[in-house]
Amino acid sequence: MNSILKYFNGLFTGIKSLLIGMSVTWKELWTKKVTQQYPENRATLVISDRFRCELTIPHDENNEHACTACGICQMNCPNGTINVLSAMIETEDGKKKKILDTYTWDLGMCTFCNLCVITCPSDAIKFNNQYENAVFTRSKMIQKLNHKGSKLREKKKEQPLKFPEGGLKDQVL
């Protein structure tokens, strides 16, 4: 008797589950569909600001970037898509300094996890919304991000804060 009760209980539970699934399918059948007509709608296509597609090192008008070749992005990349090569140079005052030689990124291996951007201490890399990256060979997916002849952006020395002669207690906040 107990096994027959279990059988019918399982049967009715399965039928209930099937009906719930079918009701979801039936509701979805009548909802309005949203289809992007890509590539015909390139002019009106809206890409979300949070969409991550292509890693870049922003350069300013003087072809300078903020990457110090520390390698933290390379260490934090979960599948090794970033390769940072640095070189040692000697400055005018005789000090040795590490500079960025080559920054390569493999688009085909990247999981777009954003760990490299989050952990960069100098905010030197970012993802942009360049979504058209179709190529015919895998070797074209490996990109060199630093431009030829680009150099590290010089840090401006901060001026020490000047306080009024009476001190801060005279200031009204």
The structure's pTM equals: 0.65
d(CA 119, CA 77): 10
Topology (CATH) of 54-152: Alpha-Beta Plaits (3.30.70)
d(CA 70, CA 68): 5
pLDDT given for residue 156 in this prediction:
56
Q: For the chain, what's the residue count?
A: 173
Give me the tens of pLDDT residue by residue for the chain, a chain 173 residues long: 788 999 999 999 999 999 999 999 999 999 998 887 888 888 888 888 888 989 999 988 888 888 999 999 999 999 999 999 999 988 888 888 888 999 999 999 999 999 999 999 999 999 998 888 889 999 999 999 987 767 777 765 555 555 556 555 555 54
Tell me the CA distances in angstroms from 132 to 60, 87, 101, 138, one per residue in order: 24, 33, 27, 15
- Tell how far CA 88 is from the center of its chain: 28
The torsion region of residue 123 among left (phi > 0), alpha (psi -120 to 50) and beta comes to left
Terminal CA-to-CA distance of the chain, rounded, Å?
83
pLDDT given for residue 168 in this prediction:
52
| DSSP letter, residue 136 | S
Closest residue by Cα to residue 59 from 121, 162, 149: 149
- Tell how far CA 117 is from the center of its chain: 6
pLDDT given for residue 167 in this prediction:
53
- E-assigned strands of 14-70? 54-56, 64-65
